[in-house]
Amino acid sequence: MHLEKILLHDFRNIADAQLSFSPGINCISGSNGAGKTNLLDAVYYLSMTKSHFSASDQYLIRHGCEEAVMAGTYRMDNGCEEKVSVSLRKGEKTVRRGEKPYQRLSDHIGLIPVVVVSPADSALVNDSGDERRKYLNFILSQIDKAYLSHIQQYNQLLLRRNKLLHDGVESDLLLETVSEQMAPHAQYIFEARRSLCEQLQPITQDLYNRLCGGEEEVSMEFRSHLSAHSFVELMALNLEKDRALGFTLGGIQRDELHFRLDGHPLRKCGSQGQQKTFLLSLKLAQMQFMRERYRLTPILLLDDVFDKLDTNRVELLLSLAASSDFGQIFLTDSNKVRVEGIVNRFKADCAFFTVEGGRYETR
């Protein structure tokens, strides 16, 4: 599967752009702030119906304009053509597959799988567990429609239970009823996350060794309250604490994923280079996992990858991608000579673009 063409109108700093892409490697070069990352964000948005870099859609509409439009034409693995378009107005979003608008945006997730690597990935190592849970949700929501539904229903019920606790509702029966409704969703999410981590672990280790050439052991340790208790048991055990705090203390919203290097916390003991190599290995493992286990070929977005790795490792990364049928790759860099020098060493189908002030040119 690959993105053949994209049309952008008043998206971020891009007034108008119509671009055709290679099914192999697409390199976008330009100065900082020119619009390199904005193109990648548009590709991401067409897959996930939201921005990777902005929490609010209102900041995606070009300043002074009323509407932003994105439209992509894809060639799927079976040879069929898919068209996806997005229209953004302030307070309004419409996503279409072909000519038909989605009634639920969640129905679109997974049609165009995507993996993104960016400097912001450091949050996976250094920030709170919420970032790592979001990452697991990001992967699983693209490959498992049931998972996305379970997450949505669990979160709705969690809000209800927390409101009951906050309001000081005295009825144990009412809280037990809500907990019983949450239980099957929690169990499904727990098992899906645990299984995913177990399957990503050996792939990540292999890719880490290939990227750094060392013998260090990297690992992922998934922890959950549901490893020791069923959800209903957990709610009963924590009931008095929950009442005192006014919110639900335990559950899958507290799941954690620990990254380790030779048995030690990666955040504390890993160098910046080791952390960056691990994160890239993890993202490539995600891509390989999605392709092999679910016969999906994600689009790989590499944003400012030279910020993460030295030139030799970027070259090794691209050689792995070009020789392993990774699918379509979008790569941004501020130095067009550097990126062209690396990419031209491979026989993969390539396309080169430059951007300045939101205006793109094909080279």
Per-residue pLDDT at 348? 67
The CA-CA-CA angle for residues 50, 55, 61, to 5°, reads 70
Q: How many CA atoms lie within 13 A of 74 on its CB side?
A: 25
> Sorting pLDDT into bands at 50, 70 and 90, what band is 96?
very high
Residue 183 CA from chain centroid, whole number:
26
**DSSP 8-state assignment for residue 61:** B
- Domain boundaries for CATH 1.20.1050.90 within the chain: 126-296
**Which of 27-41, 73-87, 158-172, 291-305 comes out lowest in average pLDDT?**
291-305
Element housing 4 (H / E): strand 2-11
Homologous superfamily, domain 126-296: RecF/RecN/SMC, N-terminal domain (1.20.1050.90)
Per-residue pLDDT at 238? 96
Give the Cα separation of 182 and 86 in Å (integer): 33
Task: Look at the chain and count its residues.
Answer: 363
% of the chain exceeding 90 in pLDDT = 74
> Sorting pLDDT into bands at 50, 70 and 90, what band is 325?
low
- Domain boundaries for CATH 3.40.50.300 within the chain: 1-113+297-363
Pick the CATH number of 1-113+297-363 from 3.30.1300.10, 3.40.47.10, 3.40.50.300, 3.30.470.30: 3.40.50.300
| 261-290 per-position pLDDT tens digit | 999 999 999 988 889 889 999 999 999 898
> Sorting pLDDT into bands at 50, 70 and 90, what band is 138?
very high
* Residue 135, pLDDT above cutoff 90: yes
Q: For residue 203, give the nearest of 287, 264, 270 by alpha carbon.
A: 287
